[in-house]
């Protein structure tokens, strides 16, 4: 299966310049409807929190204080695997050929922000949470419903990917992790002259961001309206395990390597 879009050279240029690019109207309704339906069937019954080390994870994470991440797998979420392999990966390869020669699946997360009770996911940079060297990630983000500023859309600090590695903090409280000695992202990136954009989207749209780009989502303030966001992260270079404090992403529990060993194996397939 392939995605029938034309190559657009401005996509790569925008990603290089801003650290993020929004691809509009790229995903067919039929696949997004299947993914949403399968999520709706799986979500109420999924209670598993332990993490297998022999296959890729699908993390379900509700943005409500005190909620634990729940763990699913692609054999119970086949439409999501089809979305990734049949739509996301071909689109990335077509629009960003220079950056996608090597795409290794790192993790897949569905962030749920229920109306009124969800909270802010503070400014962060994905790679700050990854124990990898080199630490080059491309992430894709797709909403399951229309997102607006009031409904927990993604906000990005344009050009922040050029400012290097920052420290990791608790995403809900902004509290610095123990032994974190790297410079933190400022509370408001506008204070250092960066422009911030809010990406309002439909489920046919797809964001692509560099792993160094700063981003956050506000609460979903609309009663009776939930907001699901799918994030799929790819490593674009062969990387070795390089642990340091403050790197608690769920996939790190799938790594049984000594520092300096190459990240490879069944949880992290090459696509």
Ligand X SMILES: O=C(O)CCC(=O)C(=O)O
Site for ligand X, rule CB under 6 A: 111, 113, 121, 126, 139, 141, 152, 215, 217, 229, 231
Residue 87 per-residue DSSP state: I
CB of 63 to ligand X, least distance (A): 6
CB of 109 to ligand X, least distance (A): 6
Query: Which CB, 149 or 256, lies closer to ligand X?
Result: 149
Least separation in angstroms between CB 201 and ligand X: 11
For ligand X, the closer of residues 114 and 229 by Cβ is 229
What gap in Å lies between CA 63 and CA 48, rounded to an integer? Answer: 17
Q: 45-55: buried (b, 16+ CB within 10 Å) or exposed (e) per residue? A: ebeeeeeeeee
Distances (CA, A) of 185 to 174, 182, 191, 215: 10, 10, 11, 10
Given the complex with ligand X, which of 121 and 208 has the nearer CB atom? Answer: 121
CB of 71 vs ligand X, minimal distance in Å: 17
Q: Are 53 and 64 in contact (CB under 8 A)?
A: no
Q: Are strands 57-62 and 70-73 parallel, antiparallel or unpaired?
A: antiparallel
Measured in degrees and rounded to the nearest 5, phi and psi for residue 132 equal -130, 150
Least distance to ligand X, CB of residue 136, Å: 15
Which helix (H) or strand (E) segment holds residue 108: the answer is strand 104-113
Which residue number, 64 or 242, has a Cβ lying nearer to ligand X?
A: 64
Q: Which is nearer to ligand X, 56 or 259 (CB)?
A: 56
């Amino acid at each position: 299966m392939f995605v029938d879009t034309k190559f657009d050279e401005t996509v790569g240029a925008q990603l290089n310049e801003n650290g993020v690019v929004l691809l509009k109207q790229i995903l067919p309704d039929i696949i997004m409807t299947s993914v949403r339906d399968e999520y709706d069937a799986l979500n109420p019954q999924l209670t598993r929190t332990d993490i297998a080390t022999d296959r890729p994870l699908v993390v379900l994470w509700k943005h409500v204080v005190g909620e634990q991440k729940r763990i699913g797998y692609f054999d119970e979420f086949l439409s999501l695997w089809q979305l990734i392999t049949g739509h996301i990966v071909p689109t990335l390869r077509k629009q960003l050929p220079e950056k996608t020669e090597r795409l290794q699946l790192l993790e897949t997360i569905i962030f749920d922000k229920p109306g009124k009770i969800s909270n802010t996911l503070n400014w962060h940079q994905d790679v700050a949470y990854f124990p990898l060297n080199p630490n080059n990630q491309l992430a894709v983000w797709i909403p399951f419903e229309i997102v607006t500023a009031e409904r927990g859309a993604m906000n990005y600090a344009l050009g922040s990917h050029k400012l290097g590695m920052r420290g990791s903090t608790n995403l809900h409280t902004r509290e610095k992790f123990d032994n974190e000695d790297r410079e933190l992202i400022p509370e408001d990136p506008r204070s250092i002259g960066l422009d911030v954009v809010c990406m309002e989207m439909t489920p046919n749209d797809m964001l692509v961001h560099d792993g160094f780009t700063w981003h956050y989502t506000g609460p979903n303030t609309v009663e009776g309206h939930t907001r699901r966001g799918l994030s799929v992260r790819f490593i674009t270079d062969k990387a070795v395990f390089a642990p340091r404090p403050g790197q608690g992403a769920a996939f790190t529990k799938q790594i049984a390597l000594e520092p300096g060993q190459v990240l490879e194996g069944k949880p992290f397939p090459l696509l």
